[in-house]
Amino acid sequence: MDIKTKALLKSPWVFHLSTGSCNNCDIEVLDCLTPRFDIERFGMILAGSIKHADVLLVTGSCNRQSAIRLKRLYEQVSKPVFVVAIGECSLSRGMFIHSYNCPVPLDKIIPVDVYIPGCPPKPEAIIAGVVKMIEKVKAADKAKKK
């Protein structure tokens, strides 16, 4: 693994992006920053601007209005970037699956690296999901070497 990827995995700055969620997932994301969970141990901090982000935490059901904005925001992140879909809504649109306003799930709009199910997922689940993402990147790097 080269030093760039190594450093990226040790300090992933997260940006928290809501595409029309009910705010439950967003509150659980913020819970990760509290003293009980403290994700700054792993070098994660909440980035204020999308251009500083390495990981996009996307919540919500991607309605017609926010899907366009989501695409535009994804284009504005400096690559390499990982996308984490949090909550049932962003995974499969949840209870809005038959809604006229939610045409496609998140992974049909932008590439998604990790899915974290739950309505809302616990902070433990979110941390476990991010750890899985890190392991996935490491495994992909090993496979590339072989």
Partner 1 sequence: MVLSHLYFLVIFGFLLTGCIGLLASWIDRKVTARVQYRVGPPILQPFLDIIKLLGKETLMPAGASKVTFFLAPALGVSGVILASTLLWLNVLNTQETFIGDLIVVIYLLTIPSLSLIIGGFASRNPLASLGASREMKLILSYELPFILALLVPVIHSGLTIKLGGILNYQAQNGIILNSVSGFIAWAVVMLCIQAKLGLVPFDIAEAETEITSGPLIEYSGPALALFKLMKSMLLFTLPFFVMIMFLGGLNWEGIHLLWGFLKYIGLVALITVIRNTNPRVRIDHAVRFFWGPMTLLAVLAIFLAVKGY
Residues in contact with partner 1 by the rule CB under 8 A: 3-4, 7-8, 10-11, 35, 38, 40-41, 43, 48-49, 51-52, 54, 76, 78-80
Hey, is 87 helix, strand or coil? coil
CB 19 within 8 A of CB 106: yes
Least distance in angstroms from the C-beta of 120 to partner 1? 22
With respect to partner 1, which residue has the nearer C-beta, 39 or 102? 39
Least distance in angstroms from the C-beta of 64 to partner 1? 25
Least distance in angstroms from the C-beta of 56 to partner 1? 14
With respect to partner 1, which residue has the nearer C-beta, 43 or 103? 43
With respect to partner 1, which residue has the nearer C-beta, 51 or 136? 51
Cα torsion for 51, 56, 61, 67, to the nearest 10°? Answer: 30
CB 54 within 8 A of CB 8: yes
With respect to partner 1, which residue has the nearer C-beta, 16 or 93? 16
Least distance in angstroms from the C-beta of 2 to partner 1? 9
CA quadruple 88, 89, 92, 97: dihedral positive or negative? Answer: positive
Least distance in angstroms from the C-beta of 37 to partner 1? 9
With respect to partner 1, which residue has the nearer C-beta, 6 or 108? 6
DSSP type of residue 118 = S
Residue 73, both tokens = 């925001």
Q: Are strands 114-116 and 55-59 parallel, antiparallel or unpaired?
A: unpaired
